[in-house]
Amino acid sequence: MPEGHTLFALARDLHEAFAGTRPTVTSPQGRFADGAAQVSGRELLAATSRGKHLFLEFSQERWVHVHLGLIGTFTLDAGPWTAEAPVVGQVRMRLAHGEHVADLRGPTQCAVVTPDEVAAVLSRLGPDPLRPDADPERAWHRLHRSGRTVAELLMDQAVVAGVGNVYRCEVLFRHRLSPFTPGRELRAASWRLLWEDLVRLMPLGVATGRIVTTEEQVRQVEAALGRGEPPRLAERTSAVYRRQGQPCPRCGSRVRSQVVAGRTLYWCGRCQRRR
Ligand SMILES: [Zn+2]
């Protein structure tokens, strides 16, 4: 499933391509035909993301709310584009204007919604580490009184928006935290460090299109971006994700795996014992 950094980059790219234009909106597949007719030809004011949710704001208070789910994709192609461009696959929504065409396929959500409905979605989401106005105290409020484990809580979009399975595994590894620590046993200082790390790591995902979490790679990417150069990434940019049975890069113990909150958790049983 795409994590928050993917949606953030997608919103940025859609905004650059379409904001201030009046795109033609269609539903080649037909399932979004009514919604497309409601927004087609209106000015697209902004494309934004919150966590794994994408919002397209059109004039006169019409919004399109998109969630890609597990298999959805939203591809943006630079032109030249013409109305006769072929449709490939099941395109739920197509945005087209000038040189740009963007095709949405396989989302779990694609609907025209009101401002109140947008507000309702946002109110159900925790803070998004990619947003400068995000308040980590809102997440702490939910975390510190919960008996659920931190591995479950990090996957709960009502706690933190945008973190998915890879960032969950990796950030817990980076802080040597046991994934099975109950939220109520997590110290406020530990939460602050986890949050600050997500705020540091997720923009690197936006910048590179990859989840970069090994400290060596993190430093290299930060240095390259600081110099205004494209970062060169190693093949391996994460430490424990999908490494079950392999040696832990920190202590050499075997990386373990177990399904937690519906997704496979990867962690080191030896060096992630902190609570
Ligand atoms: Zn280890």
Active-site pick, 2, 23, 179, 231: 2
Respond yes or no: is residue 2 known to be catalytic.
yes
User: What pLDDT was estimated at residue 7?
Assistant: 97
Phi-psi region of 123 (alpha: psi -120 to 50; beta: other; left: phi over 0): alpha
- Which amino acid type is present at position 9? A
CA of residue 154 to ligand 1 center, whole Å: 21
Respond yes or no: is residue 249 known to be catalytic.
no
Ordered by start, the domain boundaries in the chain are 4-123, 136-268
Per-residue confidence band for 80, with pLDDT thresholds at 50, 70 and 90: low
Respond yes or no: is residue 52 known to be catalytic.
yes
Respond yes or no: is residue 107 known to be catalytic.
no
CA of residue 252 to ligand 1 center, whole Å: 6
CA of residue 215 to ligand 1 center, whole Å: 15
- Rounded to the nearest integer, the mean pLDDT of the chain is 95
pLDDT tens for residues 106-144? 999 999 999 999 999 999 999 999 999 999 999 999 999
The CATH homologous superfamily of the domain defined by 4-123: MutM-like, N-terminal (3.20.190.10)
Distance of CA 206 to the CA centre of its chain: 9
Question: CA-based Rg of the chain, rounded to a whole angstrom?
Answer: 20
User: What pLDDT was estimated at residue 83?
Assistant: 63
CA of residue 244 to ligand 1 center, whole Å: 12
Return the percentage of the chain with pLDDT > 90, whole number: 91
229 pLDDT higher than 80 = yes
User: What pLDDT was estimated at residue 130?
Assistant: 97
Mean pLDDT over 51-60 rounds to 98
Active-site pick, 23, 28, 50, 52: 52
User: What pLDDT was estimated at residue 77?
Assistant: 84
Mean pLDDT over 92-102 rounds to 92
The architecture (CATH level 2) of 136-268 comes to: Orthogonal Bundle (1.10)
> Which range (72-81, 106-115, 244-253) has the least confidence?
72-81
251 pLDDT higher than 80 = yes
State which H helix or E strand residue 46 sits in: strand 44-50
pLDDT tens for residues 196-209? 999 999 999 999 99
Contact 112, 25 (CB under 8 A): no
CA of residue 176 to ligand 1 center, whole Å: 8
Contact 195, 136 (CB under 8 A): yes
Q: Is 42 helix (H, G, I), strand (E, B) or coil?
A: coil
Mean pLDDT over 47-74 rounds to 97
State which H helix or E strand residue 17 sits in: helix 4-18
